[in-house]
Amino acid sequence: MEPPRWHTNVLIPCPWCGDREEVEFRYGGPVPAGYPPDPQTVDDRAWARYLYYRPNPKGALEERWVHTAGCRRWFRLTRDTVTHEITPASDASA
Amino acid sequence: MREPDSPRHLWRNPEPKKAYDVVIVGAGGHGLATAYYLAKNHGIKNVAVLERGWLAGGNMARNTTVIRSNYLWDESAAIYEFSLKLWEGLSAELDYDLLFSQRGVMGLTHSLHQVREGKRRISANQLNGIDAEWLTPEEVKAFCPIVNISPDVRYPILGATLQRRGGIAKHDYVAWAFARKADELGVDLIQNCELTGFELEGDRVVGVQTNRGPIAAGKVALCAAGHSSVLASMVGLDLPIQSYPLQALVSELLEPILNCVVLSNDIHVYISQAHKGELVMGAGMDAYNSYGQRGSPHVIEYQLAAALEIFPIFSRVHVLRTWAGIVDVTPDASPIVGLTPIENLFINCGWGTGGFKATPAAGWTYAQTIAQGQPHPLNTPFTLERFTTGALIDEHGAAAVAH
Testing the interface with B: which of A9, A58, A77 to mutate, by most B Cβ within 10 A?
A58
Contact B296 A10 (CB under 8 A): yes
Beta-carbon contacts of B216 under 8 Å, excluding residues fewer than 6 positions away, are B18, B19, B20, B199, B206, B207
> Is B89 near chain A, with CB under 8 Å?
no
d(CA A48, nearest CA chain B) in Å:
5
Give yes or no for a contact between B77 and B97, defined as CB atoms under 8 angstroms apart: no
Here the ipTM equals 0.90
Contact A48 B387 (CB under 8 A): yes
Q: Which residues on adjacent β-strands are paired with residue B195?
A: B210
User: Cα–Cα distances in Å, from A93 out to A64, A65, A73?
Assistant: 10, 10, 8
Beta-carbon contacts of B304 under 8 Å, excluding residues fewer than 6 positions away, are B269, B281, B319
Neighbours of B38 (CB within 10 A): 30
DSSP classification of residue B188: E
Contact A53 B238 (CB under 8 A): yes
Domains with residue ranges and CATH for chain A? 25-33+43-94 (3.30.2270.10)
d(CA B33, nearest CA chain A) in Å:
27
Helix (H, G, I), strand (E, B), or coil: what is residue A6? coil
Spell out the per-residue pLDDT of chain B, length 403, in tens. Answer: 566 666 567 899 999 999 999 999 999 999 999 999 999 999 999 999 999 999 999 999 999 999 999 999 999 999 999 999 999 999 999 999 999 999 999 999 999 999 999 999 999 999 999 999 999 999 999 999 999 999 999 999 999 999 999 999 999 999 999 999 999 999 999 999 999 999 999 999 999 999 999 999 999 999 999 999 999 999 999 999 999 999 999 999 999 999 999 999 888 889 999 999 999 999 778 999 999 988 888 899 989 999 999 999 999 999 999 999 999 999 999 999 999 999 999 999 999 998 999 999 999 999 999 999 999 999 999 999 999 999 999 987 665 454 4
Nearest CB to A81 within list B292, B331, B389:
B292
Diameter of chain A measured on Cα atoms: 54
The helix (run of H) or strand (run of E) holding residue B229 is: helix B228-233
